[in-house]
Amino acid sequence: MKVDLTQQFRDRHEAGRVLARDLAEYAGRNDVIVLALPRGGVPVAYEVARALGAPLDVFIVRKLGVPGHEELAMGAIASGGVRVLNPSVTRQLGIPESVIDQVARAEEEELRRREREYHGDRPPPDVRGRVVVLVDDGLATGSTMRAAASALRQQKPAELIVAVPVASEETCEEFRSEVDRIVCARTPDPFYSVGLWYHDFNQTTDDEVRELLRRAEAPAPRDPAPAAEGAAIARRSTWR
């Protein structure tokens, strides 16, 4: 099947501006917070937050991979000391608590490093009772986003929205039962991979993340054009 590369985004910033149009109804609300999955989700989320006039922060999550099969998630740890386990995996494979603890300790080191890099002395964002827009640069299997959503659920947000510029239609559909709303700006078929749909998919660096978070703390006046345009666009790419 031929791949339609006209659906490619130039880079993550353009993808974020496109995604913001599908979130226009949340613009200007004081109960909305945009959270990015670092690192690739941060440039996307920066543009979304700027368009919506919402604060931006990062939500750090580390997948707990099954030893020897690390691509299979048996759980995740996240900012705020949250640990989420996937009982169907741990029970089926008979993974003992000691092994889970060992993997978690290793991932906690990287999580703490990223928290120091991005938050410094600031505490993790308080999402209780708020509308959370959780952003990444795309969904492939969705395992990392699924772990992040599960961890955030424990913190009792008023509404949890997962928003990405690109994903497979199947993965978007799967999220319908896991979050309050899933927004996928583009669902190309065939999908293959997230990176295919970006002309520039270079790795986002820690320096870039810090700089975008710094810039987001002093937001420029919001351009109403993306919101106005988004309100007029049919919600064909939104999954409820």
Does the predicted model carry a pTM greater than 0.85? Answer: no
The predicted-structure confidence for 92-103, as pLDDT tens digits, reads as follows: 999 999 999 999
Helices of type H across the chain = 12-21, 41-52, 87-93, 97-119, 143-153, 169-175, 206-216, 225-232
Token reading at 169: 């239609």
- Give me the mean pLDDT over the 105-127 stretch: 87
Residue 135, pLDDT above cutoff 90 = yes
Of 32, 22, 240, 45, give the one whose Cα is nearest residue 131: 32
HSE at residue 111, side-chain half, CA atoms within 13 A, is 22
Q: How far is CA 91 from the centre of its chain?
A: 28
Ordered strands of the 61-66 beta sheet: 61-66, 69-78, 82-85
Token reading at 234: 């049919």
98 φ/ψ angles, rounded to the nearest 5 degrees:
-65, -35
Of 118, 176, 124, give the one whose Cα is nearest residue 149: 176
CA distance 207 to 72: 30
Angle, helices 206-216 vs 97-119, to 10°: value is 60
Give me the residue spans of the domains in the chain.
Answer: 5-59+125-218+225-239, 62-122
More confident residue, 221 or 2: 2
pLDDT confidence of residue 1: 61
State how beta strands 61-66 and 32-36 pair: unpaired
CA-CA distances (angstroms) from residue 56 to 5, 44, 127, 134?
30, 11, 12, 10
Q: How far apart are the first and last CA of the chain?
A: 28
In CATH, the number for domain 5-59+125-218+225-239 is 3.40.50.2020
Q: What percent of the chain has pLDDT over 90?
A: 61
The answer to whether 32 and 46 are in contact (CB under 8 A) is: no
The CATH architecture that domain 62-122 belongs to is: 2-Layer Sandwich (3.30)
Same fold, 5-59+125-218+225-239 and 62-122: no
The predicted-structure confidence for 193-218, as pLDDT tens digits, reads as follows: 999 999 999 999 999 999 999 999 87
Of 65, 1, 33, 23, give the one whose Cα is nearest residue 129: 33
CA distance 79 to 152: 9
CA distance 23 to 52: 8
